Each structure stands twice: as structure tokens, then as C-alpha cells.
Structure 1
């Protein structure tokens, strides 16, 4: 039972941590919007989360096997701009602001879901 409980909450904890890291990366992109030569970075949230949770195309069937999420799945990539600037900066402020707002909303949603899950478990434990 404790492993199931831990695994159940691990999804939310991993999602919150990853959302926080992505938010910092997007904030850095916004802060460097006027820096010549700066390359905007981002991460594919779903593939990184799947890699951290052990889901994906390769699964481990034995405790002695190594879990592998694929080459560089945990590494951020560079965003390809729609309208590249002349100074080599790939930050598109409107795109970054939209991604930052969406990431913040999803962070709050994940936090709300985690709080509801914990309060539901607390209610079940108390027998109310």
C-alpha cells in the first residue's frame, strides 16, 4: 500500500518540479528578449515527465535493467523562431509570454489537483 500511495503522488510531485523548471527557463527567455545572439530554450514537458516516471517506448522488466528515456529526452532544446531577428536572437516575446502564462496556469492546476488528492486521502483516513 505505501508504494502505491507514493507512486500515486509522485506523478504530481514530478509534474510540479518540471513545471517550475520550465517556468524558470521561459522566464530566462523573456528576460533575454533583447540580448543579441540569445537562443530561446524550451523542453517538451510530456516526454520529460514520461522519462522521469519511467513511461515511454522502453520499459524495464527487471530491477537490474537501466531505465532509459531516450537520447537527450531530459535536455532542453532550442526553439525555432517563426520570425528570426537580425541580431541572431530567437526569442519571440509574444510566444514566450503565452507559453509562460500557460505553464503557470498548468502549475496552479497541478497544485490544486495535488491538494484535492491529499485532502481526499486525509478524509478517507479520518473516516469522515
Structure 2
């Protein structure tokens, strides 16, 4: 809905991007022992900039964000500090640290959204 898009600003889109990044990082963690798996990450800043420039979020159905138009260029393969003999580039401790930080950033964005929604409720109620 356009009203909420303009009222909530980029927080809703940022939350979706943060969720997408957490999916990428969790996929890395899940494949830590898969031979030849290449770890990826999402460049959040570039992806958000793309959204600001008008790229829309694509969904497969109303409750699920599958990918972002223009986000593919924002996905990149990470370069490990220590090469694995099986070709896997996941460094589990690095990925877990990234995931922890991404989760904290997701929570912070969610709190901003909750504040925005609370303010809208007050306006609608006339408080």
C-alpha cells in the first residue's frame, strides 16, 4: 500500500533485505561441510541503495520475499582467509559472527518499524 510505503520509509524494505541476508548467511552455515560450496553474502548497502533508486522487491506470494530485483549483483562470493582442501569457502566462525550481527541489525530495524507503526496507531486513534 502506497500510504504505508511513504509513511514507513525504507524501514520495511530494509527489514526484507536484512531477512534476505540472514537467509544467505544461514545457507552458508548449513553448507559448512559441503564440498565445493562457495559462501556468499549480500551487500546490504548496495541492495538498499538499489531499492532507494526504484528497484522493487519481488515476492512469490504475499508473505514471502524470494529475491530482489537488482539484488543479484549485490550477492557476492566471499573469499576465505584459510583455503579448504575440499573447495568449500565457508569459515564457520566468520559466518556465525556475521549472522549474529545481522540478527542484531534485523532486530534494530524491527524496532524502528514498531515505533513507526505505533505512531501511526496513535494518529489514527487521535491520541
Specify the TM-score bucket, using the shorter chain as the normaliser.
Answer: 0.7 to 0.9
Q: Distance in 1 between matches of 2:109 and 2:78?
A: 25
Q: Which runs of 5+ in 2 are unaligned?
A: 55-68
Query: 2:117 maps to what in 1?
Result: 118
Query: 1:74 maps to what in 2?
Result: 71
User: Following TM superposition, by how much is the alpha carbon of 1:16 offset from its aligned partner in structure 2, in angstroms?
Assistant: 1.1
Q: What is the aligned length? A: 111
- Tell whether 2:88 aligns with 1:89: yes
Q: Distance in 2 between matches of 1:33 and 1:122?
A: 44
Using structure 2 for the length normalisation, give the TM-score: 0.78
Query: 2:36 maps to what in 1?
Result: 37
Q: Residues 47 and 73 of structure 1 are in contact (CA less than 8 Å); yes or no, is this contact kept in structure 2?
A: no
User: Following TM superposition, by how much is the alpha carbon of 1:73 offset from its aligned partner in structure 2, in angstroms?
Assistant: 5.3
Query: 2:60 maps to what in 1?
Result: none
Using structure 1 for the length normalisation, give the TM-score: 0.78
Which has the larger Rg?
1
Q: Which runs of 5+ in 1 are unaligned?
A: 56-71
Q: Distance in 1 between matches of 2:112 and 2:35?
A: 40
Query: 1:64 maps to what in 2?
Result: none
Q: Deviations over 1:18-37 (max 9, x none)?
A: 11111111111001001111
Query: 1:28 maps to what in 2?
Result: 27
Q: Distance in 1 between matches of 2:35 and 2:2?
A: 49
User: Following TM superposition, by how much is the alpha carbon of 1:52 offset from its aligned partner in structure 2, in angstroms?
Assistant: 1.2
User: Following TM superposition, by how much is the alpha carbon of 1:3 offset from its aligned partner in structure 2, in angstroms?
Assistant: 5.6
Give the RMSD, CA atoms, in angstroms: 2.0
Q: Distance in 1 between matches of 2:106 and 2:70?
A: 21
